[in-house]
Amino acid sequence: MTRQFFGTDGIRGRVGEYPITPEFILKLGWAAGKVLTQGAGGKVVIGKDTRISGYMFESALEAGLSAAGADILLLGPMPTPAIAYLTRTLHADAGIVISASHNPYHDNGIKFFSANGAKLPDAVELAIEAAHAEAMTMASPDALGKASRVVDAGGRYIEFCKSSFPNALDLKGLHLVVDCANGATYHVAPDVFRELGAKVTTLGDQPDGLNINVDCGSTHPQALQAKVLELGADLGIALDGDGDRVLMVDHRGELVDGDELLYIIASTRHRQQPLPGVVGTLMSNLGMELALREAGMDFFRAKVGDRYVMESLGQRGWSLGGESSGHLICLDCTTTGDGIISALQVLRALIEQGKSLHELKSGMRKLPQCLVNVRLSSRLELGNEKAIQAAVAEAEKTLGSRGRVLLRPSGTEPLIRVMVEGEDADQVAGLAEQIAHVVRERCQLA
């Protein structure tokens, strides 16, 4: 069966437009309560980021869960990975996150975690959708769920993050600029780094419900880059709105993306104890793959999306993977992508090797990558287009073993994404445009 509402990362959309409406979310809470807690006695935690609509959807979920007979633990504004952790440590049946991650404030969404802090499998999401289609009933008045607030949620999560950093090390002597994206990490991330000994300057830590991800955070790191240079800081840390992604800025103001951060963590760990391999995605830079293989590690490309990275890690029994966007997964530390914990693993590498972030990222040479989006006026089946396949084959022949071509339909827009990587930037751009031209021609003929 095909999921109707759930995408690759929960349910997401513009507030007020179906399905991101109070009515839908109320019934979603009821359906989730039925499926995830099996009735009376169940317990679900709810956390959210800082966007203004979170209050409305928190109340709607609370009402729906209570009607299903499930008790509710309210965490307030907390990072997505914190909800995963607190779902486990509070022995809840499930966790719910109200967030649209790196999207602007007028979007929102709902994500679920299982009792063990992992994303739900497709079968469970389908079961929730099936329950949502049923007529809504209510538990008897004496069996309705109760709601309570977890007042020490932030402190619990701060201690958990710190526990992922070796006791023998600290961050004394480091000046960090931490950009919280006016999102869910604003009241926890600075404390984690300060309590480990760093001097911390904060950006994006004044949320007002409307300014989440606005000119700040991992989607807009320019202010962080400028502040690192202005203060002469050692590095900058850019989190996203719900705290599951991280990018960094070195002391020269240069952005360090998820591929480079993943390489730093993997190569440092591999020196201490050999790693069998690392999972990236179809969009991971070829330079990272080459550097990891040269260091003796295997590399596997999953489909784009953290759920597919997680699936591939589980299938191979590996612990480390991630995306260029900064969604990094360290399964030896936690169960899901966590921006703060991932940043701590990079800082650990800096300290253990006695090198700067700039020096560590230089071990990997990112290859030039060109992405051209071709908007479609009609449906195009890439597998049936011989002219496009021939153009791709010709480009691959030109690039040889030091280059890569990827054509990928967008999952949200009528686009074909043409991506070419190689060692020569001009060649890469030329080949990408050549393939894009053939795609446009075939689209006009279709």
Provide the sign of the torsion angle of the four alpha carbons 362, 364, 365, 366, taken in this order. negative
Active-site option among 66, 101, 218, 312: 101
Domains of the chain: 11-151 (3.40.120.10), 156-255 (3.40.120.10), 256-361 (3.40.120.10), 369-445 (3.30.310.50)
Secondary structure of the chain as H, E, C letters: CCCCCCECCEEEEECCCCCCCHHHHHHHHHHHHHHHHCCCCCEEEEEECCCCCHHHHHHHHHHHHHHCCCEEEEEEECCHHHHHHHHHHCCCCEEEEECCCCCCCCEEEEEEECCCCCECCHHHHHHHHHHHCCCCCCCCHHHCCCEEECCCHHHHHHHHHHHCCCCCCCCCCCEEEEECCCCCCCCCHHHHHHHCCCEEEEECCCCCCCCCCCCCCCCCCHHHHHHHHHHCCCEEEEECCCCCCEEEECCCCCEECHHHHHHHHHHHHHHHCCCCEEEEECCCCHHHHHHHHHCCCEEEEECCCHHHHHHHHHHHCCCEEECCCCCEEECCCCCCCCHHHHHHHHHHHHHHHCCCHHHHHCCCCCCCEEEEEEECCCCCCHHHCHHHHHHHHHHHHHHHHHCEEEEEECCCCCEEEEEEECCCHHHHHHHHHHHHHHHHHHHHHC
The one-digit pLDDT tens for each residue of the chain (446 residues) are 678 899 888 999 999 999 999 999 999 999 999 999 975 679 999 999 999 999 999 999 999 999 999 999 999 999 999 999 999 999 999 999 999 999 999 999 999 999 999 999 999 999 999 999 999 999 999 999 999 999 999 999 999 999 999 999 999 999 999 999 999 999 999 999 999 999 999 999 999 999 999 999 999 999 999 999 999 999 999 999 999 999 999 999 999 999 999 999 999 999 999 999 999 999 999 999 999 999 999 999 999 888 899 999 999 999 999 999 999 999 999 999 999 999 999 999 999 999 999 999 999 999 999 999 998 876 777 878 899 999 999 999 999 988 999 998 876 677 889 999 999 999 999 999 999 999 998 887 65
Q: What are 306-315's pLDDT values in tens digits?
A: 889 999 999 9
Question: Is 101 an active-site residue?
Answer: yes
Q: What are 105-144's pLDDT values in tens digits?
A: 999 999 999 999 999 999 999 999 999 999 999 999 999 9
* Confidence (pTM): 0.93
* pLDDT confidence of residue 253: 98
Tell me how far apart the alpha carbons of residues 74 and 57 are, in angstroms, rounded to a whole number.
12
In sequence order, which residues have a C-beta less than 8 Å from that of residue 411 and are 6 or more positions away? 7, 8
